[in-house]
Structure 1
């Protein structure tokens, strides 16, 4: 593919026009990565551009970069250094809008989660680091209650990381310490948005781990699913003790 054409797609991926950015540029870039149509040099240049894009001053530009990086990871081109770079952006991203009437899909929370889920599925990065990044995003103070299935996307990413064969029991639940501290800091009054987002995400994850999580439609096995579900249930019971109680001897 000519460099000029690739550069144009990268440029259009930052467009405020959702048709140009999402339906055209992103669709084309993801297809090029998925089908192996890019040279190694093109893929390296694309990754560099996406990592730089995470520091862009406009949310519509930042938010689509991790999706392209996720596609590269799934194609086998991921690098360990991408994980801390995306983590810095993800945990610190303040604009958590899902769909905007003018800008279309932004979805930084979901798109970032997709990157970490792709890393989990591809064996890229330490599982502890991936889980920690997702957990820190969950509990970070925010004025925004997620409304466009961000909680489900984060839960799915967590499930893919938890399916890693190199994940031990301790690491599989250590990330929940972030949640434990968040819930312990609660006080009478309105529920903080980050607490609501966390509750919704944990409920989605608990459900997924009790069924069969999928990676691109293919079932995956989560080795410590029962242990994680027990820990999640205990945490959720702390915030809704009046609604239900855990069954003895069951997750």
Structure 2
């Protein structure tokens, strides 16, 4: 049987791990960027999401996989390309990281140095990622920005990350929410709010700093061309609205709501004047 056939059998059997789990996972990671959406998403990622948190791999085996996930053939594979198939490798390698961090939170096995290595690799990926596609009708989910948000969310919950790291997360979210290339249309704004809520829950950054960060969305230098400026404005509005209602829903730092409101009014003066 080829890899896809093997994984279909595993799925049909309730995701029970076979005796050669580690060897099979190595093959899965090698194919994590397949343009076959069923293989990449429904099978490889879904099975990993059962096996990694479910202790089908030992801590030692996960430590062996981690450098592979983070390397230039996976998380950083052809980083900076746009509208190419390389995004699937980067994006789905990114999705493995929250699974590893979830396992670590339940039963710590990563050193502080390893957490910081993950952090640096993720931060660099988010900073340099330029493929902003969500769903591709032919090849399925690319969703690099949404998957990056998931990894940032899990990292923000790690006690190993300090004040400066949380500030970097805010900066990275800001940079990805003010893009002019396209209007996010596949829930990226909602996903990017998750790491912000996790940062707020850490109770490390001052409210004044967070307020200033929110206000900075109203001070973005406007692109002189209509379409890029229009796309950027809509991305900012959608993000601020998502942040507003999530803050209210979780009742976390609700004192930020007036700041979000006033920033939104400033961004969209046409409808709020």
TM range (shorter): 0.7 to 0.9
Q: Give 2:226's aligned residue.
A: 189
User: May I ask how many residue pairs the two structures share in their alignment?
Assistant: 233
* Structure 1: unaligned runs, 5 residues or longer: 213-220, 246-251
Q: CA deviation at 1:136?
A: 1.7
Query: TM-score when scaled to structure 2?
Result: 0.77
Q: Give 2:135's aligned residue.
A: 99
- Give matches, 1:1-251, under 5 Å: 2-52=21-71, 53-57=74-78, 58-76=86-104, 77=110, 79-125=115-161, 126-139=165-178, 141-176=179-214, 178-182=216-220, 184-185=221-222, 189-190=226-227, 191-212=229-250, 222=252, 224-226=253-255, 228-244=256-272
* C-alpha distance in 1 between matches for 2:126 and 2:176: 7
- C-alpha root-mean-square deviation of aligned residues, in Å? 2.2
Asked if the contact 1:116/1:130 (under 8 Å) is kept, the reply is yes
Bigger-Rg structure (1/2): 2
Structure 1 range deviating more: 88-97 or 233-242? 233-242
Asked if the contact 2:22/2:57 (under 8 Å) is kept, the reply is no
Q: CA deviation at 1:225?
A: 3.1
Asked if the contact 1:60/1:103 (under 8 Å) is kept, the reply is no
Give a deviation string over 1:104-156, Cα, whole Å, max 9, x none: 111011000011111223435232122222112212x4422111111111122
Dislocated runs of 4+, deviation >6 Å? none
Q: CA deviation at 1:179?
A: 1.9
Q: CA deviation at 1:6?
A: 1.8
Give a deviation string over 1:187-234, Cα, whole Å, max 9, x none: 58343423321210111111111122xxxxxxxx62x331x3222212
Equivalent residue of 1:235, what SS? helix
* C-alpha distance in 1 between matches for 2:23 and 2:202: 39
Q: CA deviation at 1:79?
A: 0.4
Q: CA deviation at 1:176?
A: 3.0
Query: TM-score when scaled to structure 1?
Result: 0.83
* C-alpha distance in 1 between matches for 2:212 and 2:102: 26
* C-alpha distance in 2 between matches for 1:124 and 1:135: 22
Asked if the contact 2:193/2:239 (under 8 Å) is kept, the reply is yes
* Structure 2: unaligned runs, 5 residues or longer: 1-19, 79-85, 105-109
